[in-house]
Structure 1
Amino acid sequence: MSSAAGGIGVGSAGLYAVVTNPAQMGAKPEEADELKHHLKHGKGFVNPWDSFRDFNPWKLGFGMAWRRLSGQSHFPDTTPPTVPIRPPSFLPSRQTSKLRATWLGHACYYVEFPGGLRVLFDPVFEDCCAPINLKNLKRYTPPPCEVEDLPIVDAVVISHNHYDHLSHPTVMRIHKKHPNVHFFAPLGNRQWFLDCGVKNITELDWWETRDVKLEMFAGKGEEGSQVSVAEVDDLKSNLGAITATIGALPCQHVSARTPFDKCRTLWASWSVESGGKKVYFAGDTGYRSVPHLPPGTDDYSPAYAHLPHCPAFAQIGLHRGPFDLGLIPIGAYEPRWIMSPMHANPKDSVNIFVDTKCRKALGMHWGTWVLTEEPVMEPPRKLKEALKEKGLDEKGVFDVLDIGESREFGGD
C-alpha cells in the first residue's frame, strides 16, 4: 500500500490517510474514457454538453455593467435577521452508527460518517471570498465556528478553485491544526497545494476513485511530547479500521483564480463512501442554460422544455447511486440568463437530486455571501415550491439547515 500524489503527513501523532488506487475502477459510462472534457495538449478543460453555454468575458462584463447602468440590477438586502446561526456541536468521539452532516455556511459541510471518518467539504472560513478584501464580497453571516474548533478532519474535498470554495488562509489553518489531513481536488490543482507546502494531496479526474484507509502514526505530538506505544494501542483497539472510497464526478461549471487562467484546472462533484453510507457532494454546478427571457418567465414551462439539461447527473445516479445524502447547491442563480450555465436554481437542484438518486438532500451555496441578485432568503422558499411541484414535498427529503445546524441520517 502506498500513498498517492505527494506522500503522507506525519507532523503529529494520530491518524493519517493512506490513499491507493482501487483494484477496480468504479462503474462509469462508456464515453467517459473519451475524455471529451479535456482540451488538447493539456491546455485545460471544457463542459462537453449542449446544456452549457460559455460567455465571452467581455460580453459578460458589458452585460452586467449595462444592467447596473439601466437600473435592472437588484442588490439583495442583507439587513439582519437573515439565516439563523447556531453554535455547532460535534460528536465527542469517532464512535457513531449514523451519518451526520453539519452546515458551516455556503458550500462548506462537515460530515461525520459511521465508523469514524470525518470529511470537510469546500471549507472557506474567511470574511471575504476574493483575492483582495472587497466590501461587496464580505460575509453577511459569520461562520458558526472556526477551523480550530473542528475536532477531527481526516479528509478535505475541494470542488474547484474559485475563491468561495478554495481559500488559501483556510487551507493553511487546516494544515496547521490537522497536519495529517489529506486533501482531494480535481485535476490541475495539485501544484497549488504543493506551492502552499501541503504534500498530502490527491488530484482526480472525473469518474476516478481512490481507496482510503486511516492508519496510525506514532510520533511526536503537537507540543513535541513522545506518544507512548500504549496510547497508540489503546486508540487502535477502540477505533478499528476506518476505510473509504472517494471519487471525483462530473458537474457543469468553470474554474479560475485570476483573469488569465479560466478552465485551466478541472471542477468536479464528489462521492464519499464510508461506514456503509454514501454521500454525494455536488460542488458548484449548473444544470441547463437558459436564454435571456422577460422577468418572471418560468423557464421550466412547456415552451422551454426543449432546452437541454446536463446528462452527467443521470449518469452519476445510474453508475454510482443511490446516495444516502446529497449536498446540493440551491443559490446564486440570478440573473438566470447569465448564471444558469454555472449555477443551479432550486428547480435545477431538485432535478439534480432526482437524477443522482439521492435518498435525502441538504441545500448549500447560499446564505453567506452576496454573489448574485436573488433575495438572500429566496432559495429555501423556492426550494419548497420546486419540491411540491415535483411531488417531493415530504418533510426532510430535501431540506435546508441553519448555519451550524447538524442533521443525522439512518442508523442501526
Structure 2
Amino acid sequence: MTDRTETPLAPPVVSGDVVTPRPLGEVRTWPRSFADRLTAPLPGVRSMSRLAREHAIRPNAEGLRHIHRLPYAPEPLPPVPAGAASVTWAGHASWIIRTGGLTVLADPVWSRRILGTPARITPVGVRWEDLPPVDAVVISHNHYDHLDAPTLRRLPRHTPLFVPAGLGAWCRRRGFGNVTELDWWEHAELDGVRFDFVPAHHWSRRTLTDTCRSLWGGWVVQDTTGTGDGGRIYFAGDSGYGHWFAEIGRRHPGIDLALLPIGAYEPRWWLGDVHTDPEEAVQAYEDLGAHAMAPMHWATFLLSAEPVLEPLTRLRTAWQRAGHPRDRLWDLPIGGSRLLTARRADVTAPTTPASGATPRAPR
C-alpha cells in the first residue's frame, strides 16, 4: 500500500494502491482550527513581555552596518531548455520556479512594505513587468511576509492558486476562482506538473482571531510530463527544525533542490521552534537527502535581531564544516538564477557571488 498518514481532518483520496490527485478548484470543508498540528506551543503573554523588555525584535546599529553588502544582483530571467527547470530568487521567500513549461511563483511578495515591519532593505530581484505569464502560485502559509494581498491583486483572477487547507476562502473572497486547498501529504496536478503539500514546523495567523485557522507547510514541485528531468524542487516556506524534514525526504526521495530558510532566527528562545537557524538548515538539507540547497528567508525584511549578514556567513561555515561539496550550495544573490538539468547544477547566466563577507564561526 502507498505510505500515508491518516488524519480525521482530510483523509487522502485513494484509488487502488495509488493516492490520486485532488481535483483542481475543489471546494472543501475544513475544521475551524489546525492547532492540533502544532509541534511546539505558541508564545504566551510572558514571552511577549520579555521580547518587548529586551528590545530583541530588530538588529542593533552594529548589526545593520553591512546592509550595503547584502547580495543583490538582478539579471534577466534565463532561457529554460525543454526538459529542464530553473529557479530565481526574488528575495525573502519569493521564488520564480519554471518547470514543465510552467512559471510558478512561490510565496510572491513584491510589496515594498509588509504589515508590522520596516520597508524591505533590498529591492525585489525581478521587476513584475519582466515576469513571464504566471501559470500558478503556491502559498506556504498566511503570514504577511509569505501571503501578500497587494501582490496577488496584480495577477489575473483565473490564475491557479495552490494553498494550505483553510486558506481557500480568503483567496476566493479576493476574486480567485481556481483555488486548490490541500492537506499535508496531498497533491494536485496542473498540465503535467505535480504539487505536493508537505508538513512544516510552524503556525498561521493574519489577525487576532484567526490563529491556526488555516494550515502551514511546504511544497514539492515536480515535472511529471516525462519529456525530461527538470528536477524535484522542495520549497520549505517557513519551518523550525524537526522530524518532518526526514519524513519529507523519505516520502519524496531524490529531491534535486531544497529551498530552505536560514534567517529570522534570533532570539532563539522566541523563534527557535518556528524558524531554522543556518546550522539547522544544513541539518534539514541532510535529513531531506537533497542534492543541492538554496538559502532563502533572509536579506530582505528585518524580522528578527540577528545581524543582517550573519545568516549567510554562518551557513557557509556550517556547510564547510559538514563537508558538503561547495557547488551544491546555491547561495544566490537576490535576482540570481540557476538551472536544473538531470540532477546537475548549471549556472544559467553570470551570477554575482552572494557576498564578499568573510565567514564567521557559528555561535
TM-score by length of structure 1 reads 0.72
Q: Which runs of 5+ in 1 are unaligned?
A: 1-23, 214-242, 288-309
CA shift in 2, pair 1:155/1:383, >3 Å: same
Give per-residue Cα distances to partners, 1:40-65, cap 9 Å, x unaligned.
Answer: x923113647x524211x22320111
- Note the C-alpha offset of 1:398: 2.4
**Corresponding residue for residue 247 of structure 1:** 196
CA shift in 2, pair 1:351/1:33, >3 Å: same
**Corresponding residue for residue 292 of structure 2:** 360
User: Matched residues, percent identical?
Assistant: 36
Is 1:82 the counterpart of 2:69 in the alignment? yes
Check whether the contact 1:160–1:255 (CA below 8 A) recurs between aligned residues.
yes
- Note the C-alpha offset of 1:399: 2.8
**Corresponding residue for residue 138 of structure 2:** 157
- Note the C-alpha offset of 1:173: 0.5
Match of 2:217 among 268, 273, 276: 268
Check whether the contact 1:211–1:246 (CA below 8 A) recurs between aligned residues.
yes
- Note the C-alpha offset of 1:34: 2.9
CA shift in 2, pair 1:264/1:96, >3 Å: same
Match of 1:111 among 71, 74, 97: 97
Check whether the contact 1:111–1:118 (CA below 8 A) recurs between aligned residues.
yes
Match of 1:139 among 106, 120, 128: 120
SS at match of 2:326: coil
SS at match of 2:266: coil
SS at match of 1:210: strand
Check whether the contact 1:37–1:48 (CA below 8 A) recurs between aligned residues.
no
**Corresponding residue for residue 196 of structure 1:** 174
Distance 1:46 1:361 in 2: 30
Check whether the contact 2:265–2:304 (CA below 8 A) recurs between aligned residues.
yes
User: What does residue range 170-249 of structure 1 map to in structure 2 within 5 Å?
Assistant: 170-175=151-156, 180-213=158-191, 243-249=192-198
Distance 2:217 2:314 in 1: 25
Amino acid at match of 2:34: F
Is 1:98 the counterpart of 2:29 in the alignment? no
Is 1:410 the counterpart of 2:341 in the alignment? yes
CA shift in 2, pair 1:35/1:400, >3 Å: farther
Give per-residue Cα distances to partners, 1:211-243, cap 9 Å, x unaligned.
Answer: 222xxxxxxxxxxxxxxxxxxxxxxxxxxxxx1
Distance 2:256 2:334 in 1: 21
Match of 1:286 among 234, 240, 249: 240
Check whether the contact 1:322–1:358 (CA below 8 A) recurs between aligned residues.
yes
Amino acid at match of 2:118: L
SS at match of 2:35: coil
Is 1:400 the counterpart of 2:349 in the alignment? no
Distance 2:265 2:145 in 1: 15
CA shift in 2, pair 1:37/1:53, >3 Å: farther
The number of equivalent residue pairs is 318
Match of 2:6 among 33, 50, 74: 33
- Note the C-alpha offset of 1:330: 0.5
Distance 1:72 1:382 in 2: 20
SS at match of 1:272: strand
Distance 1:380 1:389 in 2: 14
TM-score by length of structure 2 reads 0.81
CA shift in 2, pair 1:47/1:148, >3 Å: farther
Larger radius of gyration: 1
**Corresponding residue for residue 61 of structure 1:** 48
